Amino acid sequence: MLWGLVVLGVGIPTAGWQTPNPPGPDQGVVVAVARFYRGDRTLVNGFVRVPHRMLEGVRLGPGGFAAYTALLTVTDSGGAVLTREQWTREVNWRSTQVTGAATVEPLTLALAPGVYKVQVVVKDSATGRQETAQVQVTAYAARPAASDLLLAYSIRRRASPADTEPGSGEVRKGDFFIATTPDVALTPSRAVLSYYEEVYRDTSAAVPWRLRVVGSDNRTIVATQSVEAALASGGGSIGGSIDLGGLPPGSYKLVLVAGAGADTVVRAAQFQMGGFDAEREVAAAQQATEPEPTDRFASAPEAELDSLYGPLIYLGTPSELGVYKGLTLDGKRRFLREFWRKRDLTPATTENGAFAAFYQRIAEANVRFREGGAGGVAGWRTDRGRVFIRYGEPNEIMKRPSSGPDRPWEAWKYTRDRQLKFVFLDLTRLGHYSLIYTNDRLERNPSDWTKLLSAEAVNDIASF
């Protein structure tokens, strides 16, 4: 018997979220699920990746489209069909020409105890060609010690009580918004792996937990120190991100170990790390899945215009930006059009590369450098986010965790155009990193920064 089956996300466009390390051209539709306990039912979050290479598009001048229908069927162990849902999606024609371009469809199912088959059939609207993916799901008969481990590309907390709607490609789990896909794969420049798990208990407790990254030979490659999560009666969630920069290409498992002694519970999930060749595929897939160029500001509401304006403090001068707040709605649109027109390095093309690159860095900074808590700070507003947006990925990074008298710190070095060095210190030990030293003349350089670190740390930074 199926209880309260719902399909959330069916009919909600999520094109544009694709795997950072695109799968091989022979890999087709993929479906994967993660299970969470909800009393008399199992809440199943499913993710279907539809590769655009299976579609044949219709080209119309410089643009065009492709389309597909997806049919979701859920059957029980006796073969009875419990639900059947169908929806249609359109994608850019150009994305059908690029390896790795894909759409991710999120699904949510509520299942009574039992065994089920979840099947998705994707059919190309132009040719009728179809591909099928399915997964067997065992719904919990009793409360497990923990849910499945869900891996993702990003995880963020609700910014405010009004922040209730997931963004494109995200699912909501309590106060977390999670962006993922059935086959999580990282690359050298997108090496942050996010994770989410629920632990179920009868009583409230501070539960120790730690992470391990295990290679295909079952050897532990990365291990974190044990920390505690305060879980209420009934249980709670553990979520966060780990930077795996420097991990060689290959197949790995992230293992989350929660509890101690007889109460220890272990959950694992697989992910991939791609090489530098994947970076080119990521860039091509990202560009291919972007909407056809339009006037981005013509129909944007004022709140969206203001959000686009905010980060421009990193590009414009005070005299240039100062007039914006006094403008009308149409005036703000004209301001932003002109601002980006002047910075368009390829005006003969339909895409403004400077605009796209800048806001892609904003988005990445928000994922990588957001500083948490109920009053969380958006990643682009943090010191690390600001430097990243201005200069991109550092050529070298030195990280040191909390050790002895030293709080956690990071040193970044850029060597592309000129030698730049930045040192960030977690003054609170809560993940809030402040810039304490730099040789960049655009930044304020706090005095006596060496007093904030041990002599050993200062020497390490000086020789970096």
Question: Bridge partners of 377?
Answer: 371
- Given pLDDT bands bounded at 50, 70 and 90, which one contains residue 45? very high
pLDDT of 95-120, one tens digit each? Answer: 787 777 888 888 889 999 999 999 99
The more confident residue out of 162 and 199 is: 199
Three-state SS across the chain? Answer: CCCCCCCCCCCCCCECCCCCCCCCCCCCCEEEEEEEEECCEEEEEEEEEEEHHHCCCEEECCEEEEEEEEEEEEEECCCCEEEEEEEEEEEEHHHHHCCCCEEEEEEEEEECCEEEEEEEEEEECCCCCEEEEEEEEEECCCCCCECCCEEECEEEECCCCCCCCCCCCEEEECCEEEECCCCCEEECCECEEEEEEEECCCCCEEEEEEEEEEECCCCEEEECCCEEEEEECCEEEEEEEEECCCCCCEEEEEEEEECCHHHCEEEEEEEEECCHHHHHHHHHHHHHHCCCCCCCCCCCCHHHHHHHHHHHHHCCCHHHHCCHHHCCHHHHHHHHHHHHHCCCCCCCCCCCHHHHHHHHHHHHHHHHCCECCCCCECHHHCHHHHHHHHHCCCCEEEEECCECCECCEEEEEECCCCCEEEEEEECCCCCCEEEEEECCCCCCCCCCHHHHCCHHHHHHHHHC
Domains of the chain, by residue range, sit at 30-276, 290-358, 394-463
Reading the block at residue 202, the tokens are 């009868």
pTM above 0.85, yes or no: no
Percent of the chain with pLDDT over 90: 41
Residue 300 has pLDDT above 90, yes or no: no
pLDDT of 80-89, one tens digit each? Answer: 999 888 888 8
Residue 158 has pLDDT above 80, yes or no: no
- Given pLDDT bands bounded at 50, 70 and 90, which one contains residue 19? very low
User: How high is the pLDDT of residue 2?
Assistant: 30
- Given pLDDT bands bounded at 50, 70 and 90, which one contains residue 6? very low
pLDDT of 420-440, one tens digit each? Answer: 999 999 988 888 899 999 988
Task: Report how far residue 179's alpha carbon sits from residue 320's, in angstroms, rounded to the nearest whole number.
Answer: 36
Residue type at 261 in one-letter notation = G
How many CA within 13 A on the CB side of residue 120? 25
User: How high is the pLDDT of residue 431?
Assistant: 84
To the question of domain 30-276 being in CATH 2.30.30.280, the answer is no
Residue 362 has pLDDT above 90, yes or no: no
What phi and psi, each to the nearest 5 degrees, are found at residue 358?
-65, -50
pLDDT of 367-398, one tens digit each? Answer: 788 887 555 788 899 999 999 988 888 888 99
User: How high is the pLDDT of residue 130?
Assistant: 92
Mean pLDDT, rounded, for 126-150: 93
Mean pLDDT, rounded, for 237-251: 92
Residue 304 has pLDDT above 50, yes or no: yes
